[in-house]
């Protein structure tokens, strides 16, 4: 991760953590290992073995799809629709969506389907700006609030189907059901300290991979692998094998200290890599002056769509700051590619066995699967 004097664009570096949390992390720096979890679930459960059919079972996969429809998902980025009339379309699972900003600069997210014959209103992935939404089939026309403007249409509904939508940290979240976004509220108080709302995407990548979506998530829920998988990248920056994990409801926070951490009495963002797990399939990684976002979207039991992006405080204003962010972009995508490149190998290897056994040094994995189990109840 590159360093530069970015004084003008840096946000506050204070941390929203108690001294107890910071002292726990300092203790693990001295021990040189991830914190062994004291979660009640691990203390009372003998189910530390995972049957590997959870990574290939079609029945369970359908249950997981149903669960994902009941939780928030990342739709887009605020900077992609900054002005009234701006829109972008996309897809999550089997739902085509259209997000736009209306005349009052409020976000709206609609089902990308005309009320007439169901035609997709905007081609998937298309962006642009418009004063009205016009169906390409029969020209049924809607305003930016989703109201049908075309007169004399025979329809039982005169407004596009809409879904809840929320902007936080330069990100746009939505969900398929009412009140679905409430499940993220436990994270907002911590995020306020970071002042991320004005951040913009500097680079976005997406790809499909031959692995179960849960394997993708699991990779980012533990630090135990860093000294091996990232020996030529992240391992040179952070304390070897050190981290602590705390559940936040279904979500979680993982703190990994940089090597500067143990030498300061008052650590700030530059001394930590802070990972937030947004259950069930989104990872936010906060660095000293930017952050990355990773979201996994299941396609089939053994195939997953992955979205990655890096967000920065503001658009680069000089060639020097452009080089700085390019170097950080390269580092983020290179290191996360080291993880994702291993995912198909994990998928193939996992299915050779009846079960696997994560260690107590990987509590994030247990928390993830325990949250999945509880969500199915």
Listed residues 109, 143, 174: the one ending a domain? 174
Report the SS3 class of residue 320. Answer: helix
| Average pLDDT estimate for 165-181 | 94
The residue whose two tokens read 């204070």 is 14
Listed residues 117, 150, 174: the one ending a domain? 174
In a domain, 2, yes or no: no
Residues 237 and 367 in one domain: yes
DSSP string, 241-279: T--EEEEETTEEEEEEEBTTGGG-SS--GGGEEEEEEET
In a domain, 14, yes or no: no
Q: What percent of the chain has pLDDT over 90?
A: 85
Residues 232 and 363 in one domain: yes
pTM: 0.93
Domain span including residue 256:
19-70+190-376
Q: Domain containing 194 — which CATH number?
A: 3.90.380.10
CA distance 377 to 372: 9
Tokens representing residue 284 in the block: 């936010």
Given a cut of 70, whether residue 372 has pLDDT beyond it is: yes
| Average pLDDT estimate for 361-375 | 94
In a domain, 6, yes or no: no
In a domain, 194, yes or no: yes
Among the listed residues 83, 167, 95, 193, the one whose alpha carbon sits nearest the alpha carbon of residue 130: 83
Residues 91 and 213 in one domain: no
Give per-residue pLDDT as tens, 229-282: 999 999 999 998 899 999 999 999 999 999 999 899 889 999 999 999 999 999
Q: In the chain, how long is the greatest CA-to-CA distance?
A: 74
Q: Would you give the DSSP letter of residue 238?
A: B
What is residue 6's predicted lDDT score, i.e. its pLDDT?
46
Residues 199 and 164 in one domain: no
Q: Domain containing 143 — which CATH number?
A: 2.102.10.10
Kind plus residue range of the DSSP H or E element containing 50: strand 50-51
What is residue 156's predicted lDDT score, i.e. its pLDDT?
86
């Amino acid at each position: 991760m590159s360093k530069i004097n970015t004084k003008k664009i840096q946000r506050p570096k204070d941390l929203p953590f108690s001294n107890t949390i910071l002292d726990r992390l300092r203790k693990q720096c001295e021990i040189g290992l991830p914190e062994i979890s004291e979660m009640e679930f691990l203390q009372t459960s003998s189910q530390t073995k995972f049957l590997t059919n959870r990574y290939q079972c079609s029945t369970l996969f359908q249950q997981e799809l149903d669960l994902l429809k009941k939780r928030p998902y990342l739709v887009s980025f605020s900077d992609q629709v900054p002005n009234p009339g701006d829109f972008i379309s996309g897809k999550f699972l089997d739902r085509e969506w259209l997000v736009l900003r209306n005349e009052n600069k409020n976000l709206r997210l609609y089902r990308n389907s005309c009320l007439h014959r169901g035609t997709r209103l905007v081609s998937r992935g298309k962006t642009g700006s418009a004063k009205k939404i016009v169906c390409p089939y029969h020209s049924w026309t809607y305003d930016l609030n989703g109201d049908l403007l075309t007169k004399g249409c025979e329809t039982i509904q005169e407004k596009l189907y809409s879904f809840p939508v929320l902007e936080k940290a330069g990100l746009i979240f939505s969900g398929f059901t009412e009140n679905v976004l409430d499940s993220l509220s436990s994270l907002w108080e911590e995020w306020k300290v970071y002042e991320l709302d004005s951040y913009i995407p500097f680079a976005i990548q997406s790809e499909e991979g031959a692995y179960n979506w849960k394997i993708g998530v699991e990779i980012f829920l533990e630090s135990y692998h860093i000294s091996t998988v990232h020996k030529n990248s992240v391992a040179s920056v952070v304390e070897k094998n050190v981290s602590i994990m705390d559940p936040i409801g279904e979500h979680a926070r993982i703190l990994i200290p940089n090597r500067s951490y143990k030498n300061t009495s008052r650590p700030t963002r530059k001394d930590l890599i802070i990972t937030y797990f947004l259950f069930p399939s989104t990872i936010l990684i906060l660095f000293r002056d930017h952050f990355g976002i990773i979201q996994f979207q299941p396609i089939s039991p053994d195939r997953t769509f992955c979205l990655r992006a890096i967000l920065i405080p503001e658009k680069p204003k000089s060639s020097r700051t452009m080089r700085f962010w390019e170097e950080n972009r390269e580092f983020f995508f290179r290191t996360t590619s080291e993880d994702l490149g291993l995912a198909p190998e994990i998928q193939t290897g996992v299915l050779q066995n009846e079960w696997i056994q994560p260690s107590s040094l990987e509590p994030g994995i247990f928390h993830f699967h325990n949250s999945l189990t509880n969500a199915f109840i």
